[in-house]
Structure 1
């Protein structure tokens, strides 16, 4: 098997798709496939409030789902029931779709209180609990929990499946919610108040469930579990800070800080005079045993970085792909391919040693639509009042 360095060294564009309608690609998810079948689907959330399905191998459009009336905050496939696809939105709903039926209505709709606008969500590793983080409501922000197996399309009244709400752990928009990849009751959350919390949901009430809190001294942008056993937690902030903690000793008052920088761009030296403008996100590459951080520029350049307690190390820069800010990325299992999407509307598939098919569309679609102008800012969280 190729080493990680060899895989990165020969990465090239294998497929490129840019739909005729210019929309930002905000998030991407891959349908689980035990055998790695090429028949699996890729889901992307778009700035026009739709969830689009693509064929994994060709990136061809398979269909789409419509129903949300506010901007989307992510997409997730269920782990054990891969035909179930979840999406969250600032319209105050999480929706579950049947990926076998593109264009159909949501099979389940999750709601909480009127006035809640969701800006993050995730699904537990055993598919039983879904959690969403809200924007600030008055002086409060909420983590809302549902039984993922129960929901209703009814807009009012008691919501079936609603398990409870945490109200005290954050005081501003909850911008990131991530369940542990293997421990179903372990949840991390990050907010614009600078707090990153870890909960053990098996303990019940909020006070008992909160087992550690870290302060990233800025607005948390993305969080990511890392390490062989998920013993590390990475936080990237909206102003390009980076914090990596060892959270194995959750009963300790001071989990070990492995790496911390208020502006982590200064930790990176890129070749050929390239500049790192922002971080896109982080991912633990289980197949490689490495924590990867992806950085980029407003012109679409991507920089793959190895992250550890020793700092950030530039491994490979990807150019001539995107022409605008990249919003999301995803590695397929075992490093089969890297998927990237961004503000140029393109969905790209990168593979080691690939040669891009001839005739692939390379033109950049430009739009001055109000929707794109309102969602143009990359690292800053959108305005609470702007629910496009």
Structure 2
């Protein structure tokens, strides 16, 4: 990791986009592009905002290209298609997943995925083949659902002509609370991991059919799951962060084994590292697998906006670089752009920042004193009874 670590250590703010309105930045996504390949839409960065909209930016200049509106409740995430860089998926607590063409900002979504009217989604993902979509619902009475669609099964909806995705069915027995994380395997389209506030992380092989047969591994982190990531040289390890800053790493390469191999386990991973100069590590933003380097990059921060880049291995956490002078409130999301060698971050101060090695800051938007947009109600939890087809 020497070369990339040198890049991380030299990171400084390259561009700063100031918000025009008081909104959180909740999530961001870059197209899945291989090195040296350019395609229509591959220079677009999608940003999910707390006002239920999605902003499209030029990923290099950060300038606003357009806005996507259609959701009527908080958006739980944004994700580009694996195969088509101009297609973007979004999920929302309004009970829909939507597919958009980023070449047509301001237009309606080109496809909508729905299930039961009472379902409220708080996580979703798309398989590496772009064929299957899965969303995790909030708990409704005793039930929580993993909902599946086949993106190729398209039908028009009534007089509107809106294209609806084909509902395949649901899994309903594996979780007992809000399903807060859904993650398809990056290379195996039928492998899916899910995590919930019930503390369980389940791994499924969808090719085996029904829920009982498909579920082959269950891990327990004894806390509410905030994010999941497939890691390891064979992508056969699961990295898990919890809402109370726990960190877990499991080897799930041998599903036939009754004993899950725990590579790392900490109910509060903030205690695993002591930062210099009295710096504070108050929360984790997330982690990502750096495949070329064979390392997990873990990003943590302080509520004041300071960020810490950490190398995570089975032996613990190691500080690579602290990033100061950027955000003024909690950071919600990040993406490492391997092609551009840049780090993109967004948070509760509404700022979108681009970090590059040896850069000098360019302010893209209006310069203002920024404060955290506090006490904003981002989501409400529903508890309703409903029925759904099991698969």
Structure 1 residue 282 and structure 2 residue 279: aligned? no
Cα distance in 2, alignment partners of residues 60 and 258 from structure 1 = 42
- Quote the residue 2:141 is aligned against: 138
Rounded to whole Å, the distance in 1 between the matches of 2:2 and 2:135 is: 39
Query: Corresponding residue for 1:327?
Result: 332
* 2-structure distance, mates of 1:115, 1:39: 35
Q: State the distance in 2 between where 1:72 and 1:160 align.
A: 18
Tell me the residue number matched to 1:249.
254
2:95 matched to which residue of 1? 92
Q: Paired residue for 2:118?
A: 115
Q: How many residues get paired?
A: 376
Equivalent position of 2:85 in the other structure: 82
- Hey, what does 1:52 align to over in structure 2? 55
CA distance in 1, matches of 2:187, 2:158: 33
Map 1:249-268 onto structure 2 (within 5 A): 249-268=254-273
Partner SS for 2:362: coil
What residue in structure 1 maps to residue 226 of structure 2? Answer: 221
Whether 1:13 and 2:13 are equivalent positions in the alignment is: yes
Corresponding residue for 1:337?
342
SS at match of 1:374: coil
User: How many Å separate the matches in 2 of 1:86 and 1:195?
Assistant: 26
Whole-angstrom distance in 1 between the partners of 2:22 and 2:265: 38
Q: Which secondary structure state, in structure 1, belongs to the residue aligned with residue 355 of structure 2?
A: strand
Q: CA deviation at 1:86?
A: 0.4
Structure 1 residues 3-12 or 331-340, which shifts more? 331-340
Structure 1 spans left out of the alignment, 5+ residues: 376-381
Moved more, 248-257 or 37-46: 37-46
- Which of 158, 165, 170 matches 1:165? 170
- Using a 3 Å threshold, how does the CA distance of structure 1 residues 311 and 227 change in structure 2: closer, same or farther? same
- Taking the aligned partners of 1:60 and 1:336, their CA distance within structure 2 comes to 18
* 1:378 aligned residue: none
Verify: 1:316 aligned to 2:313, yes or no.
Answer: no
Once the two structures are overlaid, the 10-residue window that deviates more, 58-67 or 19-28, is 19-28
Mark the CA change 1:215 to 1:358 in structure 2 (over 3 Å): closer, same or farther.
closer
SS across alignment from 2:201: strand
Corresponding residue number in structure 2 for 1:384: 381
Contact 1:22-1:365 at 8 Å conserved across structures: no
CA offsets, 1:362-387, max 9 Å, x none? 52345868xx6213xxxxxx54149x
Would the alpha carbon gap of residues 367 and 333 (structure 1) be closer, same or farther in structure 2, given more than 3 Å must change? closer
* 1:315-344 Cα distance to aligned partner (Å, 9 max, x none): 111110000100000001256111000001
TM-score, normalization by structure 2: 0.92
Aligned to 1:203: 208
Alpha-carbon spacing, 1:211–1:286, altered in 2? closer, same or farther (3 Å): same
CA contact (8 A) 2:285 2:301 kept: yes
Match of 1:62 among 61, 65, 69: 65
* Partner SS state of residue 373, structure 1: coil
Measure the CA separation in 2 of the matches of 1:239 and 1:179.
Answer: 24
- Of the structure 1 ranges 334-343 and 219-228, higher mean CA displacement relative to structure 2 is found in 334-343
Aligned to 1:379: none
Match of 1:175 in 2: 180
Q: Is the 8 A contact 2:307 2:323 kept in 1?
A: yes
Q: Cα offset for 1:355?
A: 1.3
Structure scoring higher RCO (CA < 8 A, sep ≥ 6) equals: 2
Give the Cα separation in 2 of the matches to 1:50 and 1:152: 25
Q: Could you say which structure has the higher strand fraction?
A: 2
C-alpha separation in 1, matches of 2:212 and 2:94: 29
State the shift of 1:282 in Å.
Answer: 0.7
Calculate the TM-score normalised by the size of structure 1.
Answer: 0.92
Question: 2:143 touches 2:176 (CA, 8 Å); kept in 1?
Answer: yes
Contact map agreement 1:33 1:40 (CA 8 A) in 2:
no
Q: 2:271 is paired with a residue of what secondary structure?
A: helix
Query: Do the aligned partners of 2:20 and 2:366 also contact (CA within 8 Å) in 1?
Result: no
CA distance in 1, matches of 2:89, 2:364: 34
Distance in 2 (CA, whole Å) between partners of 1:239 and 1:155 is 45
Structure 2 segments unaligned to the other structure (5+ residues): 384-391
